[in-house]
Structures are given as C-alpha cells and as structure tokens.
Structure 1
Amino acid sequence: MTVIGFHCSHEQIDPAQLLRDVRAAQDAGFTAAMSSDHISPWSSRQGESGYAWSWLGAALATTSLPFGVVTAPGQRYHPAVTAQAIATLGQMFPGRFWAALGSGEASNERVTGDVWPRKEVRDARLVECVDVIRRLLAGEEVSHDGLVSVNRARLWTLADPVPDLVGPAVTAETAARHAGWADGLITVNQPPETLRAVLAAYRDAGGRGPARLQVHVSWAPTEDEALHVAHDQWRSNVIGPPVAWDTETVEAFDLIGETVSPDQVREAVLVSGDLDRHAQWLQDYADMGWDELYVHFVGQHQAPFIEAFGTSVLPQLSVTSPAAQGASPQGARGEDR
C-alpha cells in the first residue's frame, strides 16, 4: 500500500493551469500532492514561478487531497512568517498539510540582498528556524537571538493537529541529522544504493513519520519524445549540490545546462515511453520502503501524462491515501528503524 502523489512544479507551469492540473490528477487517482516554493525557475525554458502559499490555499480548497510544500525559512522567509503560513493552512484544512523545511538555495534566497551563507551556517540557521516554528505552532511566545532574530512573536491562529514538519535530505548525513527534529523525511530519486542509505540513516537515527520520495519522470508515446521533453525542461537541474545550492541566476543555470547531454538527464529523470516500465519503477521504490511517492512529470503539458498514468500506471499499484497526521505509517515499523 503506497501513496502516489502528484508534484506541482511552480517553476514550469503557471498557477492557474497548475490548479487545473492538480484537480485532474485527483480525478485520475493520485491520492496526495506536494508543491515547490521558488521565486525563480531553474531555466528560462521553464519560465514560471508563482507564489506557492497563495496557490496552496486555492488547491486545498478545491480538492480533497493532502498537500505538502518544500520551503526554506531563515532568509527569504522569516521563521515567524513561515509558522503563520503553516498554522493558517493547518487550521483551515486540518490534517491535510505538511511542510518540509530546508536550508534553501541561492537562486531563491539571495533576493533579500543578504549574504548567502556557507552550508554549515545555513544548516545551523535551519535548526534555529525549526525550533522557532515548532514553538510558535505550539502557541508559545517566542524571542530568539542567533542566526535569526525573533522578538516576542506569537501566533494567535493555531492548527489542530499541528502540521508535520518534514526534513528534506539528499544525503545520508543530512537525513540522520534531520532525524533529531523531523516528523518525516523527503528526498528525490537517486541511485537505489543512495536511496537505501538515506532511508536507513534516517531510521537508524530514530527518524519517525512517513518517508517520502519525489520521483522525476518523463513519459511520452515514444521514447525519443520522452527524452526530448526531459532534456529540454530538466537539463539545468541534473547538476547536484553544491552547484545547485550556490548558483544564483536563471542565466547561470542555462549556461550549465548547455553542456548536459540527454544521457546525463537520464541519470536524474526516469525516461521511458513504456508505461509498464514506469509502474515497475514506482513499485521498486515502494518495495524499498518509501511510504509516499510524489511523481513529477518534468514536462510542462501535464494532461497527457495525468491521463496515461491514471489509466495505465496507478491501477497496477496498490495506491492508498496517506495516513492521518499523528498515526503510525508503514515506514515507522521497528524493523525499518
């Protein structure tokens, strides 16, 4: 039994169309959704970047899906502002919202004009932000002086249940570190041995809650077309950290993408014109122990993908809805820790 969710990529699709897409995804059988939160895309070819928090309110109000967002408190967002946004959505849509809190990327955070910190400083700042946000969500008045400053902040609108705060990680080291504070884990598709290491590190360090995996895919009626879509839209995204963290502009990402071959894109995106192959990939991830899979079709025109996966992929899988927040997920069994 695995949750199969739909990833909502604001960098690629305008908010009005993306709202139509996620409604169609629900109708097709996807049982959850998650959202990016950027101020700029990864490439000029993507060409969008709507404000995620406004969109999330509309999406939660017009579907019955649970949603998550991957966001970065500490620079572009003050942690008190992030906490207020989380609490407001959680109050309006109880048990249907979670937020993954990351350390951010320069392409989004440098807009404030503040210095983009070193990675170890960003990681320490994130820990401070998580503590501030969690205390605010619990109804405390919070003052804090450190890498972030907070002066007598308090949330007057609270959520019940309190939305889960999730740890995003692409390495085993980060996953283990997040286990100390996170209510769940999220990562992106990587080689199987890397994914197993990330999941094991989180569980072995005592990590609780659902293990979520975002899966980049490209499907089209032909293999060549699927590869063309992936190379056009996602070649600026295949270069991992620290380049992805520290590159500041769309123009720089486009320059990086000029040297990326279609075969290199295949290392980051599951490319196939065979829907059975896509179903098997997702089943393999579920068998690995991931509780929730969020499928990201990397093209801009989502309708054919949604229809094809709803008709031919989801029926091959034991798709279920997410457990209520606070319940024990499959991935939290003792043998998985």
Structure 2
Amino acid sequence: MPEYGCFLSCEEFAPADLVEQARMAEQAGFRSLWISDHYHPWNDAQGQSPFVWSVLGALSEAVSLPVQTAVTCPTVRIHPAVVAQAAATTAVMTNGRFRLGVGTGEALNEHILGHAWPPATVRMEMLEESILIMRRLFTGEEVTHQGTHYTVRNARLYTVPDEPVPIDISGFGPAATKLAARVGDGYITMTPEEPMVEQFRKGGGGGKPVSGGTKVCYGTDRDEAVRTVRERWSNQFLPGETSQILPSPRHFEQLGPLVTEAAVRENTVCGDDVEEHVAALRAFADAGFDRVYVNQIGPDQRGFFDFYRTKVLPQLQES
C-alpha cells in the first residue's frame, strides 16, 4: 500500500498558511509532505510565492513529517552549490527527514535573471551536472569542479546531515524518466501512468521510490469547486511544452479562457464524492507508485483535511 502525503502549494498560500496546513495534514493522518518551489505563481489568482527554503525551516519546527520539494530547479535561477547548502541545512533541521526533488524547471521561474532559457536537451544536461555537484558537496569534502555548465571553486559544506540528501528526479516523458532511472534516488511524476513507472524500474530505478501527485478541489458545491479550479489552476490543462516555455503569469492568464469548465469537470476531482477522491489516489497505487501526494485547490483547507481524515484516508488505508 502506498504512503499518502499532502502537497503544499507555495503558489497559492502565504508562509503561515502553509505551516498551518502542514499541522492539519499531520493531524489528519497524512504521512509526509511535498512542497512546491516557485519564484512566481502560475497566475495572479493564485497570488503567492514565498521562498521555499524559509518555509521549510518553519516546517522543521512545526511538524514531524518527512518533507520533499516538488520540485526544485537547481540549474539557472540558483546555482547547484547554493541549492546543496540549502538542502543540507534543511536535512539537518529535519533530522534527516528531507528529500530533494529536482527537475529541469520552467521559464516562468528560472528566466528572471535574464539568462537565455535553454532547450529541453540542454536543461537535462544541466540537471545531471548539478546533481553531480550537489552529491559531491553533501559529503562535506572540499569540491572544485569545472564542467560544461558550472564552475565550483574550493566549496565545502560544513553543515551536512549524517547521510547524503536523497535526490529524486521529476520526469514527464521518456527522456527525463530515463535520466531519473540512471542517476536519481527516486522518481517523481504527476500522472498515474504505469508504463512510465515500468520504464523507470527497468531502466535502473529498481526498487527506488516512485512518487506522484494530484490536485483536487473538495467542496460541498461541485459547481463552485469546478469554478475555483478553473480560476486558480487552468494552467495545468494547457497542452505540450506551454508550462516550460512561457515566461510570465500574465501569459498563462491570457490562455486561461481556452480552458472550459467542462474540461475541468472531466479532468479534476471536484466536490465531496468520497469514491471519486479515493479512486483518483488508488489509480496511482494501481500504477505501482510508492507515495501519493494530494493538494487541495482553493481556500477550504480545513474542510479538505476533515474530509480526508474522516472519509478518504480510512478507505485508502483499508485497501
């Protein structure tokens, strides 16, 4: 049976709200946390984007749950040597309960310093080199590196956990999944596709953890929940490479009207039908996932946690 966790959205909530949601998640019976790492929200309706490493410090004191970034891009906006220091400190503060989730990122967050946004193949090269640098730094030894994309000179982390921080790699296509299988400590994806899990395991992932996440909108009024999803998260229904290449929240807002309420209703669990919520999470279990994280869209966080504590998680734990 998979482990069920809660996905905290930095795009929607202020730091204090995220910490309170983490407390409610632990009380509700969720066993771990994901937290997003963004510089911008996807649109202004989401309205927030705190610095994730500050929030992680607060979470280390507020709850005892394991936590993972889903996901950090350690390639353009922040140099991997700096991400390594942040991750190592977080692992120390959480007594080893931290995993670093990484991915190739989006222009939305990574272009802000004015660097050209590389094509996907180059971004994967950069990600692999960044992982090499971070793993060397996690040893606590002095590192000098001259690579294709990064230079490190006489860098040493003095605050490191007893064990190196595990690095899980996000992948939504065959190339990224292949990279995750080859160099990752685990695999992250957002759809319950069994073929991708099989590719990861057969490509070198073996018994390493596979984690997935999904978004829902609990509410007693299904129509209102659908409208909330369309207003706040229409970006998740945009096709192709849109999410990787658009540079500003306003660009996602411009495309928002293309997403209909019917599309939201068909592709997102909205409302308070227990079986629909259970089925959405079981789909990940059936596809071979080890960990499944669920995020509640919109303001009714307390209602969501009460609903999952009393009705959804008990059914999942019985299966």
The alignment's TM-score, normalised by the length of structure 1, stands at: 0.90
Could you tell me which runs of 5 or more consecutive residues in structure 2 were left unpaired when the two chains were aligned: none
Tell me how far 1:226 sits from its aligned partner.
2.2
Deviation per residue, 1:185-217 (Å, 9 max, x gap): 11112xx5xx11211110010114211001111
CA distance in 2, matches of 1:310, 1:9: 19
Question: Could you say which residue in structure 2 is the equivalent of 1:150?
Answer: 152
Could you tell me which runs of 5 or more consecutive residues in structure 1 were left unpaired when the two chains were aligned: 321-337
Deviation per residue, 1:232-256 (Å, 9 max, x gap): 2111222144110010001101001
Deviation per residue, 1:108-154 (Å, 9 max, x gap): 11111111111111111111100000111122322222212211211
Matched, 1:183 2:182: no
CA contact (8 A) 1:13 1:300 kept: no
Tell me how far 1:268 sits from its aligned partner.
4.7
Question: Could you say which residue in structure 2 is the equivalent of 1:119?
Answer: 120
Question: Could you say which residue in structure 2 is the equivalent of 1:160?
Answer: 162
1:231-246 to structure 2, matched below 5 A, reads 231-246=230-245
Matched, 1:264 2:263: yes
Query: Structure 1 residues 145-154 or 65-74, which shifts more?
Result: 145-154
CA distance in 2, matches of 1:266, 1:175: 29
CA distance in 1, matches of 2:82, 2:239: 29
Query: Structure 1 residues 22-31 or 225-234, which shifts more?
Result: 225-234
Question: Could you say which residue in structure 1 is the equivalent of 2:317?
Answer: 318
1:217-232 to structure 2, matched below 5 A, reads 217-232=216-231
CA gap 1:306/1:126 in 2 versus in 1, 3 angstroms:
same
Identity, % of aligned positions: 35
Question: Could you say which residue in structure 2 is the equivalent of 1:289?
Answer: 288
CA distance in 2, matches of 1:162, 1:277: 39
Tell me how far 1:228 sits from its aligned partner.
1.6
Q: List structure 1 runs of 4+ shifted beyond 3 angstroms.
A: none
Tell me the C-alpha RMSD between the 2 structures.
1.6
CA distance in 2, matches of 1:282, 1:200: 19
CA contact (8 A) 1:234 1:265 kept: no
Question: Could you say which residue in structure 1 is the equivalent of 2:65?
Answer: 65
Paired amino acid for 2:293: Y
Paired amino acid for 1:80: A
SS at match of 2:289: coil
Query: Structure 1 residues 267-276 or 221-230, which shifts more?
Result: 267-276
SS at match of 2:215: strand
CA contact (8 A) 1:98 1:165 kept: yes
CA gap 1:317/1:94 in 2 versus in 1, 3 angstroms:
same
Tell me how far 1:314 sits from its aligned partner.
0.5
| Residue-pair matches, total | 316
Tell me how far 1:56 sits from its aligned partner.
0.6
Paired amino acid for 1:118: P
Matched, 1:56 2:43: no
Question: Could you say which residue in structure 1 is the equivalent of 2:80?
Answer: 79
CA contact (8 A) 1:106 1:116 kept: yes
Paired amino acid for 1:200: E
The alignment's TM-score, normalised by the length of structure 2, stands at: 0.94
Deviation per residue, 1:255-276 (Å, 9 max, x gap): 0112111222345533343022
SS at match of 1:98: strand
